[in-house]
Structure 1
Amino acid sequence: MRAVDIIIKKRDHGELSTAEIRYFVEGFTRGDIPDYQASAWAMAVLLNGMSDREVTDLTLAMADSGEVLDLSQVVPIAVDKHSTGGVGDKVTMTVAPLVAACGLAVGKMSGRGLGFSGGTLDKLESIPGYRVNLSREEFMAQLARIGIVLTGQSGDLAPADGKMYALRDVTGTVPSIPLIASSVMSKKIAAGAQAIVLDVKTGKGAFMETLEDARHLARLMAAIGRLSGRKVVALISDMNQPLGDAVGNALELQEAIAGLHDQGPADFREHCLVVASHMLVLGETAPDLDSARRMAEDALVSGRGWEKFRQLVEAQGGDVSYIDHPEKLPAAALRQPLRAERGGWLAALNAREVGETAVDLGAGRAKKTDVIDYGVGMVLHAKVGDRVEAGQELVTVHANSPERLQAALQRLAGAFTLSDAPCEPLPLFYDVIS
């Protein structure tokens, strides 16, 4: 078997065999297949696609390139949740404790933000002392002890995916839906969860801007789950405007904390309850979505979700005084609102512009080596469909530099579109694919 023959076969629209895919992934991981051949193969996949069976074989080969956890050794069933990335998406920090408080183990390895999309690890690291580098043994022991883990991905999990993603990033092959699906699912399968809820974002602030592409990705990841023996549900949710009000690491953590106290934005609360409900059903803790919703709401209103979050932070070395008193979290020195120049209805709020402005302020990374400023970001005061009066605050920018503050205000002015006619609010979800 030769790598060049596999490249040619995919170039000519052929369907690769399981053996060919595994040979290519294993050879690339070992370094026997050079980057230039892997790049050619990735481009062929981008242009010609893959069948569900091919993508599943690719996913399993990448998962098997490193350690694969078996969480059934410590809990009867564990559920994982993954978002394809968005702006203001602090859902994991609220949903995971709610679900764990209902008795369903949540073992999650999260990522860092890159580009306009924020990362859960960066938000959690706003808490002094919080560890995101748990070992395999620590991960398993904590999951068994308290039923929840939120940590970073081990370097031993799906190393083929790490190599392939770095290559895709510099060869123009990041948008390949088969490669996106296999990248996401290989890490989820390697992390050991038997049930996975996917939150697939679509819109201006998502990597899948069109509903058609989001459905394609969701359907493909659900198919991978089915063919690999995992239970998967994919929710397609809106990301044309940020979720909730806060954008920025410590600001989003504060909003997640407020959410666990049954406070905060209505859209964020509803989104979290819907995701939690699907996790509880998929994890066999509730028989149906209505029962699951009641369980999640009870965990929220009773404060059990909040107590589970405190338990999580303490278990991973975080200083719980910072979440008990969120005013202690990192905060920006400068705050200034952007006001509406005229009255009208908010017709559009460009999530990508908001996310990229947050990166410009220092809340995200333009490249992996950038240092995060945990205190900066913004808080929105209006959502699509709201009536806005002249002079009303649209957003408050939190900055640590006068120059960055003014640049952010100028850029954000173009993110809000007002209409003279009433506008409908945006839906939270578009579809559910299982």
Structure 2
Amino acid sequence: MATPAISGSPAPTPGTDISSRGPQSPSDPSPEPKQLPELIRVKRDGGRLSEGDIKSFVRAVVDGSAQGAQIGAMLMAIRLRGMDLEETVALTQALANSGQQLEWPEAWHQQLVDKHSTGGVGDKVSLALAPALAACGCKVPMISGRGLGHTGGTLDKLESIPGYTVIQSPEQMQGLLEKVGCCIVGQSKKLVPADGILYAARDVTATVDSLPLITASILSKKVVESLSALVIDVKFGGAAVFPRQTEARELARTLVAVGAGLGLRVAAALTAMDNPLGRNVGNSLEVEEALLCLDGAGPPDLRDLVTRLGGVLLWLNGLAEAQAEGAARVAAALDDGSARDRFERMLAMQGVDAGLARALCSGTPAQRRQLLPRAQKQEELLAPTDGTVELVRALPLARVLHELGAGRSRAGEPLQLGVGAELLVSVGQRLCRGTPWLRVHLDAPALSDPQRSALQEALVLSDREPFTAPSPFAELILPPTTAQQ
């Protein structure tokens, strides 16, 4: 097996002026680099930072010469003054160049795809989508993250499967792509280290919601994967970073434009995050639901999102002539068991005992539950009155589960992997007073009165007739060189 090349500087991306990478002639000396205080002052006063300025700042972040106060000041200046497209492209590229690059065999070029989500409640799309894409002929080197705050993390969900190892070397990643077609791994400290430093600083400097900083953080981790196509699931709604669809659309358009500037085909899907996605929320419970999706079953909103996002990717990289055809191919991979087979093989190659991986993927839902972490007790909540389920607010549900141990408030905190909740009803369903609508899995002795009250307030009932819930998929922003199909 050939090993992937690792280098400190990647090959130039399309649209990059590679002449600037060579040594400067004596007759055209490079300008003296600005000191950090001057760079901060330029951005603070609304000026533009050059590509060289941005490289200098990122270099100082990585080598430790930038003080914490200086990093925070620059982030706040960017948050308040913004960055134009060229600045954001330069920042993304500089972050990507701050560590190792992943390079794959040339023959894989058109097959390499990935998906990223801005974070949601019950969002287990990656667990089903990566193996489904692999079954459709793609290579998916998915670098995922952990949950922080009320949103769940893909790595935490997978680590609820005993033995699953998220840390994989580039050589191990290539082996997974060769033999399985996909891997879901964590971000190494050698991959995009500057982003790790800036991300931690953003979290404590109230600059998390900066569009250029969000864009550069997301895309820098994807640039190092050397992808042919990427789809980003941009959430909007009550449990999303951006409550309003107009704000999410602005981020989506920025991501697509910056991706184009880096030579990367990026599509951005706007999807609603008012209700939880699917019916299960919580790490091991979401693994169970992802397995149902891989069985060709499970909640329709989850399957809809998996097939739509997969269809976009297959179309973007030329493996399908239209988005609908791509979605149908992904659906077929879910229905015929080929996606589930890839998931089983991925588990076994990422540290899960082969017998356990087989039992999880071939077992019944009841058998699967016995193989995954379980909470000590369950408590059901009852509908307070008759009505039609108009909404199950995802944010208060996620916050209570976070309090119960399903999420973390700071990096490194241990999780209660079996804690979570099952929705026993669907949006649009008619309920009678006293009908169980939520089953909470908890390790605490019981829900507190405030927790129970918060959960009950998450259920919104109306006098409407029963209805079919709409798809969470709301809008698609495509690269500028493509046409909607």
TM-score by length of 1: 0.96
2:445 to 402, 410, 419: 402
**Contact 2:150 2:395 survives alignment (8 Å):** yes
Residue 318, structure 1, aligned to residue 352, structure 2: yes
**Contact 2:131 2:181 survives alignment (8 Å):** no
Following TM superposition, by how much is the alpha carbon of 1:347 offset from its aligned partner in structure 2, in angstroms? 2.5
2:396 to 353, 356, 360: 353
| Per-residue Cα deviation, 1:140-160 (whole angstroms, up to 9, x for no partner) | 222122211111111111111
Q: 1:152 to 1:98 in 2, by over 3 A?
A: same
**Contact 1:127 1:322 survives alignment (8 Å):** no
**Contact 2:389 2:428 survives alignment (8 Å):** yes
1:164 match: 198
Tell me whether 73-82 or 307-316 shows the greater mean CA deviation: 73-82
Following TM superposition, by how much is the alpha carbon of 1:406 offset from its aligned partner in structure 2, in angstroms? 5.9
| Per-residue Cα deviation, 1:377-410 (whole angstroms, up to 9, x for no partner) | 0001223333222112221101111234765433
Following TM superposition, by how much is the alpha carbon of 1:240 offset from its aligned partner in structure 2, in angstroms? 0.5
1:153 match: 187
1:429 match: 473
Following TM superposition, by how much is the alpha carbon of 1:369 offset from its aligned partner in structure 2, in angstroms? 2.7
Residue 25, structure 1, aligned to residue 94, structure 2: no
- For structure 2, list consecutive stretches of 5 or more residues without a partner in the other structure: 1-33, 479-485
1:376 to 401, 419, 422: 419
Look up the SS of the partner of 1:75 in the other structure.
helix
Residue 113, structure 1, aligned to residue 144, structure 2: no
Residue 122, structure 1, aligned to residue 166, structure 2: no
Letter in 2 for 1:65: S
Letter in 2 for 1:432: L
Following TM superposition, by how much is the alpha carbon of 1:188 offset from its aligned partner in structure 2, in angstroms? 1.1
Tell me whether 395-404 or 90-99 shows the greater mean CA deviation: 395-404
Residue 61, structure 1, aligned to residue 82, structure 2: no
**Contact 1:238 1:426 survives alignment (8 Å):** no
Superposition pairs of residues 169-180 of structure 1, within 5 angstroms: 169-180=203-214
| Per-residue Cα deviation, 1:150-190 (whole angstroms, up to 9, x for no partner) | 11111111111011111111111111111111111111112
**Contact 2:307 2:328 survives alignment (8 Å):** no
2:139 and 2:225 map into 1 onto residues whose CA distance is 13
Following TM superposition, by how much is the alpha carbon of 1:290 offset from its aligned partner in structure 2, in angstroms? 2.1
1:246 to 280, 287, 294: 280
* Cα RMSD after superposing both structures: 1.6
**Contact 2:43 2:49 survives alignment (8 Å):** yes
2:105 and 2:112 map into 1 onto residues whose CA distance is 8
| Per-residue Cα deviation, 1:88-146 (whole angstroms, up to 9, x for no partner) | 00000111111100111111011111111001111111111111010111112221222
Look up the SS of the partner of 1:402 in the other structure.
coil
**Contact 2:296 2:336 survives alignment (8 Å):** no
1:366 match: 409
1:9 and 1:183 map into 2 onto residues whose CA distance is 22
Residue 143, structure 1, aligned to residue 177, structure 2: yes
Following TM superposition, by how much is the alpha carbon of 1:75 offset from its aligned partner in structure 2, in angstroms? 2.3
2:476 and 2:96 map into 1 onto residues whose CA distance is 26
2:331 match: 297
Q: 1:373 to 1:324 in 2, by over 3 A?
A: farther
Look up the SS of the partner of 1:221 in the other structure.
helix
Sequence identity, in percent?
38
1:220 and 1:18 map into 2 onto residues whose CA distance is 18
2:290 match: 256
1:7 match: 40
**Contact 1:198 1:233 survives alignment (8 Å):** yes
Look up the SS of the partner of 2:40 in the other structure.
helix
2:441 and 2:92 map into 1 onto residues whose CA distance is 41
Following TM superposition, by how much is the alpha carbon of 1:25 offset from its aligned partner in structure 2, in angstroms? 1.0
Residue 45, structure 1, aligned to residue 45, structure 2: no
1:427 and 1:290 map into 2 onto residues whose CA distance is 15
2:431 match: 388
1:186 and 1:394 map into 2 onto residues whose CA distance is 42
Look up the SS of the partner of 2:141 in the other structure.
strand
Residue 307, structure 1, aligned to residue 307, structure 2: no
Number of residues of Structure 1 aligned to a counterpart in Structure 2? 434
1:7 and 1:426 map into 2 onto residues whose CA distance is 46
Q: 1:50 to 1:72 in 2, by over 3 A?
A: farther
Moved over 3 A (4+): 322-325, 403-408, 421-427
| Per-residue Cα deviation, 1:328-375 (whole angstroms, up to 9, x for no partner) | 211122112111110112223211111111211211112223211111
